[in-house]
Structure 1
Amino acid sequence: MPVPTVVNVLLYGADLADPVEGATMGGALLEIYGDNFRLPTPPPADYTPDPGARAPHTVEVVFRDTVSGAEEFATTVRVLASNKIRLHTPPTPIPVSFDPSDSTNNVIGEGLVDIVIRNLDDNEDPIPGEELVLSDAFTYRRPKLDATAPSDLERMVRAYIVAWMKHVIPNVLRTQHVDYDANPEDALNYVAVASLPAIVLVGPDTPINRFYSINADEETTLPDGTPIVSRKPVTVDLNFDVVIMSDNPMEILALNQLAIQFIDRNPWIYIDRDPDDAAAGTVRFEHAYQPGGDFASQTRPNNSSLEVVSGSVVIRGFPIADLASFAGEGITRAPVPLDSSTDSAISLDVGPMPE
């Protein structure tokens, strides 16, 4: 068979102008267009599918560091036709290196890599002479921590802080216990409390929530009609400790009542579904006390002149889906049936492809 050729490498579902790049942790869905990709041998007409079998691998795709030569193999490589491959990127093969004399020269897994495409024989061994190297074909980078494009988790926490500010008092902070507090369990000593009264939200802790978890990928379409399957999110709870502080013993009682009413009257916390599209509406998440998290006084005799009440609340079932700043990152695969007549080659009835 001739040597494979490649015309284009694209992120599935992304615009043609988007850079061909993905997170260092891998998982981006790529499509490679070219020719001479080896297809599986069709099974005989009397073949009986084996539920435990899979189609043999006929092509392997390797991501290779251009400097060290370190390699990582792409996962779920699917030869959709002799001119089309779809795959998930592996974690970055670029090793971590540090320059003790100049930290700006440190390499932390980011950079350009080559993509190597090899046809395989029926034993899944490389066929001599049927290999193609695409130089500098893919860029790995870490997600940007960009305040102008906050993650969904950042938006949720900000919305929650704003809700406390709107309905209880405006002096609401999010922070942690100070590192040098010998008794952090007393919930009395906090940084950044410049004035009283104040409410401090500590957290969130993010335990996995199995009850609200989505157990299947979601089939949907992009605005241009391209069919996609979105990666199922990791579903977590957002657990907060709420600490209310005042130097007035009567004011703390009023604040305690307001906090109880706020939680009771707001069983849902809302955020915009799409921060760039108001017409997309909002998404709501259950808001309640954590078990045993009712508000209780933390003030003890001779401990502090500060009046303190604290409790624990939870926002349940928050989905952590895609990585911010990556085009098409939340797409895990194309739906079945496949999206064009040229994809029919993968429909050979020889068992499931490995995930």
Structure 2
Amino acid sequence: MDDRKEIKYKLCIGCVFCVMLVLLYQQFRVVHIYFDDYAYYSLSYARSFNGTKNYTILQLLEFMKAHYMECNGRLLYFFVWLLLFWLGGLPLVQLSAAVIMVGVLWVLWKAASLKMEGYQKVLAAISVCALYWSLDIVFLRQGIYWFAAFFLYVMPVGVLVLAALLYFEFLGGERNTAGNKMTILLLIFAAGWSQEQQAAVTTVFAFLLMLHAIWVKKEKCCAAILYVIPAILALLIVIMSPGIQARLESADNGIGLIENIGANARQVVYLLGTASSWRINIFIFLSIMLISICDLKYTKSKVCKGFDAIQIVINGCLIYGYVLKQTAVEIFIATGDQTKVIIIGTIIALSIM
């Protein structure tokens, strides 16, 4: 490709993400303190810690210890969040959240465009940023425009995708060095040391990397298993916290850790099947249909052709349901029948996978 064209495309991509940063900062600068943000900003979330507004770094570390012993093991990203607040107050947290969100989108774009060239990369950047604005307010207010949730749930996703990106970018060649592998292992550990569901996802991801390294990269088992160790270590730090068991035992619902994870997974699936996610779902359905149509044209395997045909029919029906009634499950919600909503959400989740 011509060097001038390459520079032009890079400038276009840079402009897309710069505009996104400005827009996101305008959003985050009006996000203030909600729910348990108060307890964290005053270091009073842990029962044995009295709390203070003007704390020192030592007091912050003491709070983290008390949080681990009495609440849960979600320390790493809470520490980053509270450290930012200690350094620059709410304005720095707001700016940092905008920068981190753009960073997550950039990593997603980079991973999606690894094999693209020229204008395709520009279109991919525009698509990734546009998809962000298709998220419903239900997701935004509960997962992004609430700092405790943003730093705990959104930021680790970017770290995990970055680990995957580096793994495939450093696959073979001169960049497949011990230093780069150590960076990937640290990112896997950082992604897992977040919260229970993310730790579980990171562990599964690490096992998949191990299998890929053995079968595709032809690494020895003793070398490939290194991908799993930091994920399991992070998972144990999170779920073995003395505070998490105490909280589960004292919870009103009286359910255990595994049941709690299952209940949260059910809630996520339920949200996928409700009206709040109709924009992103239609995009997903259309994408799966187009991928299946293209695969149907080029694949020679009869099994793959049959699977593609099933995906086209299923996603076509889901699109028809959304177009017909905005979401087919509104009827089920109105009648209080959550079972069908869960079924539709499960179909969506499986289709995404």
**TM-score, L = length of structure 1:** 0.22
When the two structures are superposed, what TM-score results if normalisation uses the length of structure 2? 0.22
Say which structure is richer in strand.
1
User: Which is helix-richer, 1 or 2?
Assistant: 2
Highest Rg: 1 or 2?
1
Which is bigger in relative contact order (C-alpha 8 A, separation at least 6)? 1
